[in-house]
Structure 1
């Protein structure tokens, strides 16, 4: 279970998130919804350690952790970025295996075996040697999901996963998220798309509650 207690985030004199608390139960999907510019992406960046908070604490199963300085051997938070942030000079396999080999110091054979299995699971078998420019938007997103899963996180976070996708691909992403839930993956989805949130989430956190 993820617990966030008393989170406050300021940019200069502006308070974006004020004394916010949230609990995400194991194996559940939490959607954080609201319009663009309301602070929900900032919240996700705090949860994933991309922004340092001014106050507050994070707990995983009752044990406090720091998202900014995570334990490299015990990945709690994984993130799928809105623009995917794949390295254009690396193949699909290279994008997926880079962090596990550099950060976790895992062996190349082990990492590639895991990556191949994940690619097959998400319908990307045979795409290992392609470069990002050779992939569709939906394929890039699935590669980004595989890259996050390859670090074996306890929680997977998504920043606006449907923002650049047509309706058919939106349904595909929803199915991927629901399939991962069946595999006991706890997930947090930041989105402005209330219909999408209702389709996938066990609980919805309105953005007005973090202001």
Structure 2
């Protein structure tokens, strides 16, 4: 379970997040919705440790936790970025196995075996040796999810996972997220797509821009 207590974030003296309190139970899906500029992605960046907070605290499974300084954060909180952030010079398989071998110290053989299983699970068989430029947007999205899952995170975060996808691919991503829920994955999804948010959410947090 992830708890946020009084999380506050400021930029140039302007308060973007003002004392956010939130609890995400294990295996649940939280969607964060709101207009552009309201702080959705900022909150996700704070949760994932990509940005530090100016006030408040985090608890993970009842223990104080600072995402910004936790050295094993990739194995605790995975992130699927809006622009995927795949390495263009690496194949799909290399993108997926890089962090498990470097951070988790898995052998190349073990990392590859698990990567291929995950690629199969997300209908990416036959794509392991392709480079990102050879993939569709939906395929890149699934590779980004596989790469995050390969680190065995306790929590998986998504930043606008359907923003560049057509309706069919949107439904595909929706199903992937719901399937991961069935496997017990706790997930946080930032989105401007209200129907998508409502279809996957166990709970929804609406953020509004500060005056």
Which of the five TM-score ranges fits, normalised by the shorter chain? over 0.9
Q: Which residue is equivalent to 1:17?
A: 17
Shift of the 73–35 alpha-carbon distance from structure 1 to 2, 3 Å rule, reads closer
Whole-angstrom CA distance in 2 between matches of 1:2 and 1:87: 30
2:165 aligned partner: 165
Residue of structure 2 equivalent to 1:97: 97
Q: CA deviation at 1:210?
A: 8.7
Match of 2:36 in 1: 36
Within 5 Å, give how 1:1-211 maps onto structure 2. Answer: 1-72=1-72, 75-208=75-208
TM-score (norm 1): 0.96
CA distance in 2, matches of 1:72, 1:18: 27
- Post-superposition offset of 1:49: 0.6
CA contact (8 A) 2:49 2:73 kept: no
In 2: Cα distance, 1:35 partner to 1:61 partner: 31
CA contact (8 A) 2:39 2:209 kept: no
Runs of 4+ in structure 1 over 4 Å off: none
CA distance in 1, matches of 2:72, 2:207: 31
- Please say which of residues 149-158 and 200-209 is displaced more in the overlay: 200-209
Any conservation in 1 of the 2:15–2:210 contact (CA below 8 Å)? no
Conserved in 1, the CA contact under 8 Å of 2:4 and 2:58? yes
- Using the alignment, how far apart are the partners of 2:76 and 2:105 within structure 1? 17
Unaligned runs of 5+ in 2: none
Change (3 A) 1:190 1:73: closer
Note the alpha carbon deviations across 1:23-73, whole angstroms, 9 max, x for none: 001101000001111111000000011111111111111011111122428
Q: Does the aligned pair in 1 maintain the 2:3–2:24 contact within 8 Å?
A: yes
Q: Using the alignment, how far apart are the partners of 1:193 and 1:26 within structure 2?
A: 24
Work out the CA distance in 1 between the residues paired with 2:125 and 2:157. Answer: 24
TM-score when scaled to structure 2? 0.96
Residue ranges of structure 1 left out of the alignment (5+ in a row): none
Structure 2 Cα separation of the partners of residues 115 and 34 of structure 1 = 35
